[in-house]
């Protein structure tokens, strides 16, 4: 079964908007686990506008499920990952001031850089995942870099899905098959929601993990966190 990793960045954004500790990021993460999530994802950014580095250190000893830290591999980020040693690190090519991830790595152009990182994190016992678009060549060069997994950037699928689900999913199925042939694990994320997740999973049932934050937290405002996590897990059955 595909695992659901809940990205709790938006919870931290709400907390930071007012100061103090409401909502409590640590409690929400533990509640997500209690409600059935198989993982927690955080994406600390240099300006700490949502998840702070201190949150990452605080969460690590508390969590019972898989902990995934994603971000751009700056020196500070690399040091954080090596100290915390999460189960997985997901590398994204975001600029420091970027609002949200909007593209995958050019793994061919950045092969040497990514290969060095795969070795560093691999030696530390941290599973590696590289964020890529639905592109066969990018998957192949991620494998050459030594990645354990890739995470497919799903925004293009989400955008086209309402008009043409078959066309939207086609490049993702093709890339997912190639990823499997290359012997890598497969993750997916970005704008997946209750509207489009079930179809994505039906077409690519061998996805190891989906990481979902913004849509899930928005749904939780209406449905409640427990019911929302249950509904997302239903999409993955």
* Given 43, 50, 66, 201, the catalytic residue: 43
* Given 66, 70, 151, 209, the catalytic residue: 70
* Given 151, 190, 201, 209, the catalytic residue: 190
* Active-site residue flag, 87: no
* Active-site residue flag, 190: yes
Q: Concatenated DSSP letters for the chain?
A: -PEEEEE-HHHHHHHHHH-TTSS-HHHHHHHHHHTT-SEEEE---TT-SSS-HHHHHHHTTT--SEEEEEE---HHHHHHHHHH--SEEEE----TT-SS------TTTTHHHHHHHHHHHHHTT-EEEEEE-S-HHHHHHHHHHT-SEEEEE-HHHHHHTTT-HHHHHHHHHHHHHHHHHTT-EEEEESS--TTTHHHHHHH-TT--EEEE-HHHHHHHHHH-HHHHHHHHHHHT-
Residues designated as active site: 43, 70, 190
């Amino acid at each position: 079964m595909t695992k659901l990793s809940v990205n709790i960045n938006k919870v931290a954004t709400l907390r930071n908007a007012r100061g103090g500790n409401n909502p409590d990021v640590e409690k929400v993460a533990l509640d997500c686990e209690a409600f059935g999530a198989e993982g927690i994802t955080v994406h600390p950014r240099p300006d700490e506008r949502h998840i702070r580095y201190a949150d990452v250190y605080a969460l690590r000893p508390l969590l019972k499920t898989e902990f995934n830290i994603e971000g751009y591999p700056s020196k500070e980020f690399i040091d954080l990952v090596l100290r915390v040693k999460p189960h997985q690190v997901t590398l994204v090519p975001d600029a420091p001031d970027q609002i949200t991830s909007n593209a995958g790595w050019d793994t061919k152009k950045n092969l040497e850089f990514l290969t060095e990182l795969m070795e560093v994190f691999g030696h530390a016992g941290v599973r590696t995942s590289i964020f890529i678009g639905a592109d066969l060549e990018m998957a192949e060069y991620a494998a050459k870099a030594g990645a354990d997994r890739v995470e497919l950037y799903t925004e293009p699928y989400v955008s086209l899905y309402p008009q043409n689900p078959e066309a939207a999913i086609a490049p993702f199925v093709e890339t997912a098959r190639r990823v499997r042939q290359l012997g890598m694990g497969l993750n997916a994320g970005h704008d997946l929601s209750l509207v489009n997740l079930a179809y994505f999973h039906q077409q690519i049932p061998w996805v190891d993990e989906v990481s979902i934050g913004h849509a899930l937290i928005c749904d939780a405002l209406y449905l409640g966190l427990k019911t929302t996590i249950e509904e997302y897990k239903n999409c993955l059955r």
